[in-house]
Structure 1
Amino acid sequence: MRGPHNILRLIRTGATFERTGAMEAVLNAVDAPIRLRLAARVLGWPFRWLGYKGDPTLPPLTRAITALGPAYIKFGQIMSTRADVVGVELAGQLRMLQDRLPPFPTATARQVIAAELRAPVDQLFSEFSEPVAAASIAQVHRARVRETGQEVAVKVVRPGIGRAFSRDIDAFHLGAQMIEVLLPGVRRLRPRDVVRHFESVVTGEQDLRLEAAAASEFAENTKDDATFQVPLPHWALSSRRVLTADWAEGLPMGDREGLIAAGHDTAHLARRVIQLFLSHALRDGFFHADMHHGNLKVAANGDIIAYDFGIMGEIDEYTRRVYAQILYGFIQRDYRLVARVHFEAGYVPRDRDEAAFARALRAVGEPIFGADATRISMANLLSYLFEVTERFGMPTRTELILLQRTMVVVEGVARSIDPQLNIWDAAKPVVTDYIRSSIGPKAAVHDMRRVAQTIGRYGPLLPQIVENALYERAHPEEARIAIIRTRSRAVPWLAAGFGIASGIVIGMLI
């Protein structure tokens, strides 16, 4: 429950940040004014003794977050993809938070599995290992299915994690409200929206049935993608707190030296990661929104394996077309096209100057295209693009921000194994193919077919709709009186229904 009792949690959080040196790092990242720095010192220093010491071998921010526990680690993992909010340096520190938690006992995991799947572990699996990975919400065991002999990964949710997260999230909500009240200058970062997003992500990730469903849908969408694998869930061995899926054998995507030693073409892998992400986002509208190093492996045959589908992104077909046209316009350096797409989509108010907007976009794109490959960044371009659109009164588009956020992560993965990667060269064939298939005669025929199907579904209602519209046009006063009579007849029934429902609720409470 949110309220003053959460203040102690916030004090301990601040004390831990002060004790570990993370407070200074955060203040520098947000370029805090002198007054705020002084206030943080005056309020934080007396409570240092309440803070956790943490691991002194870690960077300050990572040290503080790992000391504070699972909810803070998960929050840090999500914020590691928001370099636009926390800055590049802090985002780099936060990426160290993957799999930092110590595992809980295997005996406890066995108890959870037995309770969830209603059978002892030894009856379900012929082999069951100690934890091979432990994260903030769950840990993974390597096992072998007794019935089939297939090797699998068994993911088990941490006991009591739901209650622990709820307590800390309540404190986060209170902290976000205090920040917006005390520091109006940081409202543009939308602290409360960030916490709400975090809460929705964490709530979804605690139900492993949803992750299994996402993995199943993602695998179905990508079954024809060359050199790409998705471990399939085993529904009979999965539940709310247990997820069993195919074992993914391969080298970690972040191990560049290991990949080179194994004979893999890192330049090809880097291009392929970018292209796969864009294909899933544009073609399917359903993409892996947490494609960091820890969720990607490279199989012995060179296939890219993606796993951990707790965070997925989804965008509708119209937004996909807009996004593709924006990228295509930048690739072609056609800034008038990019500006026109923004205005046609309603992303920029009609009363703004389209030509001035196009020139602002040119100022964004030209410096990037004039740079060498190591400095060409799609993520930076999208980040700058959002800054420009904000100046021109463009309201925040949540779906595009999620896309940009994931693009930042994917680009970081690709560059870590091939620093010379030219992002735009890698993206061009995917974006161009999508433009050809989604904008043109073939796409128009597809759209008309969908319109016809929609009209067909509502066909039986059309005569009555047309008749009512014509009647209201011919007899506006009678139509208005009929509407008033209908509402007046409905009010007593609504009141009676509300009274009955209230009586039932009161009776239950008594």
Structure 2
Amino acid sequence: MLRLPRILLRLWVIARVLARHDALFLMERVGVAAPVVSAARLFVNRNAPGRPGQRLARALAELGPTAIKFGQALSIRSDLLGEEIAADLSDLQDQLAPFPFSEVRRIIESEFDRPLETMYAEFDETPVAAASIAQVHFAVTPPELNHPTGRKVAVKILRPDVATNFRRDIAVLYWLADIVEAARPDLRRLKPVETIRMFEDSVNMEMDLRFEAAAASEMAENFEDDPTFRVPEVDWSRTSQRVMTQERIVGVPVDEVDRLLAAGLDPLEIIRRAADAFFNMVFRDGFFHADLHPGNMFVEPNGTVVAVDFGIMGRIDRPTRRYLGEMLLGFLNGEYRRVAQAHFTAGWIPADQSLESFTQACRSIAEPIMGKPLNEISIARLLGQLFQVTETFEMEAQPQLLMLQKSMLVTEGVGRTVAPSVNMWELARPMIEAWMIENLGPMGRLRDGMESITGAAERLPRILEHADRAASLMGEDGLRLHPDTLKAMRPRRNPVLQVLPWGLVAVLATLLLVD
């Protein structure tokens, strides 16, 4: 009973902060919690500077870690917010004031049940980075047989109470998503509840640094034979749920072109390597770094590109990779019917929609972009605009593709900063064409078909066993439904009507406390 008032009071705090930055449009577009929004309008600051997206970014930064992470997640939803607001949210800085070294010591020593000095011979008390989820300190390990002077490492420590604050705010987001799905049938195709669940899963992974360490190790294995790209080694003996220790990187940030040139490195070759690595992540491995901004990419003296910060990762299964390959090849060759057909084959566009009309839509988006000079062509922007027009064709949101589109946009931005005169996808074109031939040609399709047959054959005994068990139960006792199924079949009350009185009470009570 107390959960709902707490949610509504937190919602009121959020609305007040949005109003102070003249960013209430975020809640107004959803069209729910109208009493809260109406009350918050009394506090709107019409003189707040900047574009709508900039005002929203400042409001989310003030609201704290969960809001910052949610804003970064929203930055991939140009289909929902528009390109300008999404672009402004992309610049939302994941930076907070650092927490004190006394807390760092307490967390490390509680995680490993030993004094900090026994784990690290040196430990810099001042962090080199402080973000919404964790902060990073440089350290040196004690001398070892293979490292007589110790190893230089970077130590990542979770913020105190970050999990508690996240659970409080995620409850508000789920509540709003449930209301949206109940009250706005037109927005169900955007999958608000599923989107919040994916956001929750992503942040939960970030809040257990063992998962991040595992992601780094997996990607390191994927690239272990590639001399052009690598991942820092994880020190598992000094890694736990709230602490991760990794090899410290000595290199030049990928976007500092003057330093690259001074070190005798070729920026064009660096971008070629970055493009190849990203392509291999997505199409070869189906496991990609979803936050490859310049601060997470470095270049070592020998030209090797190194990625750090594996808290946000994306996965794409093999069928989706194949559909993406069809789309990419179709756009590059101007075969727009092929692009449209890939959407229908994947089931992203309902079968009752017109293939010809969607083909026309694909052409209308691609021609203005693909007709630009080569170095100005953005495949990521093309995909973003494609997602925006899908409402006309009742396409459901594909969160994994939205994450990929955002990652491509960031990677393209790095490419333009380092080598403005080239297109990074054109640099990777030989690899793209080779992958297309191998995976979209006759042998690739035959291999996919054989894998499908093998998978079906492996599942067949379980299917027959379940069918036999179901037939036996029906023969003995008739058809019985699980209690959860019966519960789901009962008519549901509109949650808007259930919570509206509480909303009004919470708003009125809080207004009385406003100073």
Q: Which has the larger radius of gyration?
A: 1
Give 1:132's aligned amino acid: V
- Aligned-pair CA distance for 1:188: 6.2
Name the CA distance, whole Å, in 2 between partners of 1:240 and 1:174: 28
Contact 1:11 1:47 in 2 (8 A): no
- Aligned-pair CA distance for 1:283: 0.6
Give 2:398's aligned residue: 397
- Residues 236-288 of structure 1, C-alpha deviation per residue, up to 9 Å, x if partnerless? 11111111111122222343454445444333333433332122111111111
Name the CA distance, whole Å, in 1 between partners of 2:429 and 2:344: 23
Give 1:306's aligned residue: 307
**Pair 1:347–1:255, CA change in 2 (3 A):** same
**Pair 1:451–1:384, CA change in 2 (3 A):** closer
- Residues 404-462 of structure 1, C-alpha deviation per residue, up to 9 Å, x if partnerless? 23222222232233333325413422321211221335435644664676578579x59
- Residues 453-476 of structure 1, C-alpha deviation per residue, up to 9 Å, x if partnerless? 6578579x59x969x99xx9xxxx
**Pair 1:182–1:456, CA change in 2 (3 A):** closer
Name the CA distance, whole Å, in 2 between partners of 1:32 and 1:441: 47
Give 2:69's aligned residue: 74
Give 2:200's aligned residue: 199
Percent identity for Structure 1 against Structure 2: 39
**Pair 1:357–1:243, CA change in 2 (3 A):** same
**Pair 1:421–1:213, CA change in 2 (3 A):** same
Higher mean C-alpha displacement, 211-220 vs 393-402:
393-402
Give 1:332's aligned amino acid: N
Larger RCO (alpha carbons 8 Å, 6+ apart): 2
TM-score (norm 2): 0.79
Give 1:112's aligned residue: 107
- Aligned-pair CA distance for 1:337: 2.3
Give 1:330's aligned residue: 331
Give 2:98's aligned amino acid: P
Structure 1: 5+ residue stretches without partners: 473-478, 496-510
Equivalent residue pairs, number: 470
Give 2:135's aligned residue: 139
- Aligned-pair CA distance for 1:62: 3.7
**Pair 1:14–1:141, CA change in 2 (3 A):** same
Residues 291-302 of structure 1: matches in 2 within 5 Å?
Answer: 291-302=292-303
Name the CA distance, whole Å, in 1 between partners of 2:369 and 2:15: 39
Q: What is the DSSP-based 3-state SS (H/G/I as helix, E as strand, rest coil) of the residue aligned with 1:416?
A: helix
Give 1:210's aligned residue: 211
Higher mean C-alpha displacement, 438-447 vs 333-342:
438-447
TM-score (norm 1): 0.79
Contact 2:76 2:403 in 1 (8 A): no
Higher mean C-alpha displacement, 396-405 vs 203-212:
396-405
Name the CA distance, whole Å, in 2 between partners of 1:483 and 1:61: 57
Give 2:374's aligned residue: 373
Give 1:113's aligned amino acid: I
**Pair 1:87–1:336, CA change in 2 (3 A):** closer
Q: What is the DSSP-based 3-state SS (H/G/I as helix, E as strand, rest coil) of the residue aligned with 1:3?
A: helix
Higher mean C-alpha displacement, 221-230 vs 343-352:
343-352
Give 1:484's aligned amino acid: M
Q: What is the DSSP-based 3-state SS (H/G/I as helix, E as strand, rest coil) of the residue aligned with 1:232?
A: coil
Q: What is the DSSP-based 3-state SS (H/G/I as helix, E as strand, rest coil) of the residue aligned with 1:139?
A: strand
Query: Do structure 1's residue 15 and structure 2's residue 16 form an aligned pair?
Result: yes
What is the root-mean-square deviation of aligned Cα atoms in Å? 3.9
Give 1:247's aligned residue: 248
Higher mean C-alpha displacement, 427-436 vs 306-315:
427-436
- Residues 293-325 of structure 1, C-alpha deviation per residue, up to 9 Å, x if partnerless? 232222222222111111211111111111111
**Pair 1:481–1:300, CA change in 2 (3 A):** closer
**Pair 1:145–1:381, CA change in 2 (3 A):** same
Give 2:128's aligned amino acid: V
**Pair 1:22–1:46, CA change in 2 (3 A):** closer
Structure 2: 5+ residue stretches without partners: 484-515
Contact 1:275 1:430 in 2 (8 A): yes
Give 2:475's aligned residue: 485
Give 2:499's aligned residue: none
- Aligned-pair CA distance for 1:155: 0.8
